[in-house]
Structure formats: structure tokens, C-alpha cells
Amino acid sequence: MEIAILIGTRPEIIKLSPVVKACEQMGKDFFIIHTNQHYTKEMDKIFLEELGIPPAKYNLEVGSGSHGYQTGVMLERIETVLIKHKPNLIILEGDTNTVLAGALAAAKLNIPVAHVEAGLRSYDRTMPEEINRILTDHLSELLFAPTDIAEKNLKNEGIDSKKIFVTGNTIVDAVISHLSYARKKSDIHSRLKIKQKKYILLTMHREENVDNKEKLKDILEGLKKIIKILNLPIIFPIHPRTEKMLERFKLKLPEGTIKISPLGYLDFLVLMADAYLILTDSGGIQEEACILKVGCITLRENTERPETLDVGANRLAGTDPDRILKETLYMEKKVKEWENPFGDGKAAKRIVEIIYAR
Ligand code: UD1
Ligand code: UDP
């Protein structure tokens, strides 16, 4: 049995890296297809290298474009590879356009789809990711739900419970296996001339935030208020989409924000672990903050990771400047003690065992 593992963007490389490792350790036959949805070195190559991902057998060189264009080109190119190579199953992770294209191409060729991180729901269909997740789950034969909440979401949509397995989230595997090495290897604090717990970490790239001038302006106003009250710098490894939109809208970051290029996983992991607080609209970073016991303020009105809210690790702040400040001050005061709801760090091994026991 040979399986295809599909990657395309930064979070997929990170969250599938433990699955790749598990396949290697268990001596399983696999090959990698990379759509190259992400292609800039800091969004792509650095992760492949740091996380030890073997070279992709197929680089599809799709790159950027509108949703329809990007998904369409991926669909066509993934289909060509699947027809040529005929894997017995395809593994994909998350909710990007890469994932939807991969699931659709495979399902139409009767190649079983194994979806890692199945069942997440924000119940907000204005998000492209929500559409991708729902469709992918309904195209999948094996659904690896990270938590009981995700499993319940799938059952509520009528998906056969025999296809669903609660495994934990592979992000826990990735954090556990890299944190101590990252601490030894990374000199990010000295490079940025910052001290542990004396900075706030920020990331934002959600289309509904950064492609909307008013929302982006409001978030920047919120950052200004935080810097004024907390008197801490905000470190901002900026996603290329956000960089592009700030330029297009001619918006300036408030003084006290330190904008840097996107970081590799080792530097970023250390920066997250030692942050005073994390402000983000990322999906994965809400989980990592929770795992690392760093308070998180999410710059969105909803989340597909409600577990982080339930354990008290995360607060939804939306984009209103006063609310962003209020939630940041709330999280600042909170004792950062909670249970990690995302599993024991053995999700990847479980996933590979289930696939091969099928
Ligand atoms: C995509 C995913 C999102 C995920 C994110 C991870 C979809 C619909 N969105 O969003 O769910 O959270 O990846 O980071 O699949 N760009 C570069 N270099 C790159 C990649 C992108 O410069 O390597 C720029 C281009 O200007 C591009 C823009 O970023 O147009 C957006 O890239 P795209 O892949 O469409 O979406 P992301 O915002 O990265
Ligand atoms: N990340 C990183 N360097 C950065 C920003 C993020 O390594 O400069 C990692 C982060 O630790 C997380 C993943 O990228 O594991 C999240 O990716 P992103 O926020 O782009 O996507 P999302 O999770 O929202 O889909």
C-alpha cells in the first residue's frame, strides 16, 4: 500500500510533519505532493528543511490567485498526478484551497481521502476555510477529529460515525517534539533584542480581516491602545498577504510594533512560548498558545477552536479597538493554568496506525 501526502501551505507542512515522521518510523511507503500554494522561502522551504520533510515527488507550482483560479489549477494538476501514480489513499490536513482541491480530485477517482483535523467548524460561511472544511469532510473516508467537539460536529452533519476517529491534534506532536530543540537552536530573543515575557506577539492574515480596510484600520487602532497601556513592544512576523494589503491601503503600523519577516518554526515556537500574550487571527496559533500556556486574544468574532475558549486560554476580541484592549487586559490578569484539550502528542502515530489497519 502506498499513500500520497498532500501539502500546500505553512500550517499543513507543520501539522503533517509528525505524520510524515510516523510513516518513516513505521516503514510505510508514501510520497509527497506539494501544490506550492505557499512558495516564498519563509512560508515554505524553511519549514520543509527545519521539519525534515523529504523532497516532494511532485511540485505542482500553483502559487497564488483568486479562489476559483487557484483551486481549479490545483484540481487539474493533482488529478493528473493521482491518475499517473494511483496511490491507495491520500492524506491531507486542514482547510485550505489545497485541501479542498486534493479531496475533490481524489474522491472523484475513488481514491480514499483521509482528512487530518476533521470536524472543525466556525459556523461562519463567509470564511473560505469553513467552506473548504465542510466539503472536505463530506468527501472523506477517514476523518481524524482532534477533539470530541469536532467529532460531534461531524456526527451532527450526518457523517457515518464509523469513519470518524478522535486522535488529538498533530500540532501537539509538533510542539512537543520541537520545543526543547528550538530553545537550544534559536537566538531569536537576542536577534530582536527582546527579553522573555517582555513582548506581545502578533500575527494576522485572515482574508476577512486584512483585505478589509476598515477592519484592518480598527485592529491597528487596537494595537496602539495596547502599546500605550501595557508599554510593551508588539513583535509582528508579517504574512505576505498582510504586507501587501497594508501597502495597498497605505496603512501604517503603530509605533512600538516591530515588523519582521515570517519566521521559521523553531524561532517562532520559542517566540510564542516566551510571549507575554499572543494576539492573532490564526487558527493554529490559537492552539499553540493554549498548549504552551500563553494567553491568547483572537482578532475574530468566532473560532473553530472553541476548546481554547472553554478551557479559558483564549478570548474572542473581534476587530473593535476598545474590545481588543478590553480582552487583552482581561487575558493579562488571568492565571495561565488550563488543561491542553488537543491531545497527548501521539496523534500522528494513531492516525497512521488507523490508516493501515483499515
Ligand atoms: C492560506 C489559506 C489559509 C491559511 C493560510 C496559512 C486558503 C483559502 N487560505 O491563506 O486558510 O490560514 O494560507 O498561512 O487556502 N503570498 C506570498 N507568498 C506565499 C504565499 C502567499 O507572497 O508563499 C501572498 C500572495 O500575495 C497571495 C497572498 O499572499 O496572493 C495570499 O496567499 P493565499 O495562498 O491565497 O492565501 P493565504 O492568505 O496565505
Ligand atoms: N508560524 C511560523 N512562523 C510565523 C508565523 C506562524 O512558524 O512567522 C506557524 C505557527 O506556529 C503555526 C502555523 O505557522 O503552527 C500557523 O500558520 P498560519 O497562521 O499561517 O495559518 P492558520 O493556522 O491560520 O491556517
Nearest to 204 by CA among 251, 274, 168, 172: 251
The residue whose C-alpha atom lies closest to atom 23 belonging to ligand 2 is: 284
Domains plus CATH for the chain? 2-169+343-357 (3.40.50.2000), 184-333 (3.40.50.2000)
241 lines ligand 1 (CB under 6 A): yes
> Relative to the alpha carbon of 238, which ligand is closest?
2
pLDDT tens track, the chain, 358 positions = 999 999 999 999 999 999 999 999 999 999 999 999 999 999 999 999 999 999 999 999 999 999 999 999 999 999 999 999 999 999 999 999 999 999 999 999 999 999 999 999 999 999 999 999 999 999 999 999 999 999 999 999 999 999 999 999 999 999 999 999 999 999 999 999 999 999 999 999 999 999 999 999 999 999 999 999 999 999 999 999 999 999 999 999 999 999 999 999 999 999 999 999 999 999 999 999 999 999 999 999 999 999 999 999 999 999 999 999 999 999 999 999 999 999 999 999 999 999 999 8
Angle between helices 265-273 and 283-292 (to 10 degrees): 50
Q: Which residues line ligand 2 (CB under 6 A)?
A: 10-11, 14, 203, 205, 237, 262-263, 265, 268, 282-285, 288
> Relative to the alpha carbon of 278, which ligand is closest?
2
User: Separation of 19 CA from ligand 2 center, angstroms?
Assistant: 18
Q: Among the atoms of ligand 2, which is closest to the Cα of residue 206?
A: 24
> Relative to the alpha carbon of 305, which ligand is closest?
2
**Torsion angle of C-alpha atoms 58, 5, 87, 111, degrees rounded to 10:** -120
User: Separation of 181 CA from ligand 2 center, angstroms?
Assistant: 18
The residues annotated with a catalytic role in the active site are 205
pTM > 0.95: yes or no: yes
Q: Given this model, what pLDDT does residue 27 score?
A: 97
Which distant-in-sequence residues (6+ apart) come within 8 Å of 2 by Cβ? 29, 30, 31, 87, 88
Q: Given this model, what pLDDT does residue 301 score?
A: 98
Q: Among the atoms of ligand 1, which is closest to the Cα of residue 283?
A: 12
Which distant-in-sequence residues (6+ apart) come within 8 Å of 258 by Cβ? 192, 233, 234, 235, 236
User: Separation of 96 CA from ligand 1 center, angstroms?
Assistant: 9
Q: Given this model, what pLDDT does residue 285 score?
A: 99
Q: Using an 8 Å Cβ cutoff, are 173 and 347 in contact?
A: yes
Q: Given this model, what pLDDT does residue 100 score?
A: 99
The residue whose C-alpha atom lies closest to atom 5 belonging to ligand 1 is: 9
Nearest to 324 by CA among 192, 197, 200: 200
Q: Given this model, what pLDDT does residue 323 score?
A: 98
Q: How far lies 217's CA from each of 50, 77, 251, 320, 321, in Å? A: 35, 38, 7, 10, 9
Q: Given this model, what pLDDT does residue 256 score?
A: 98
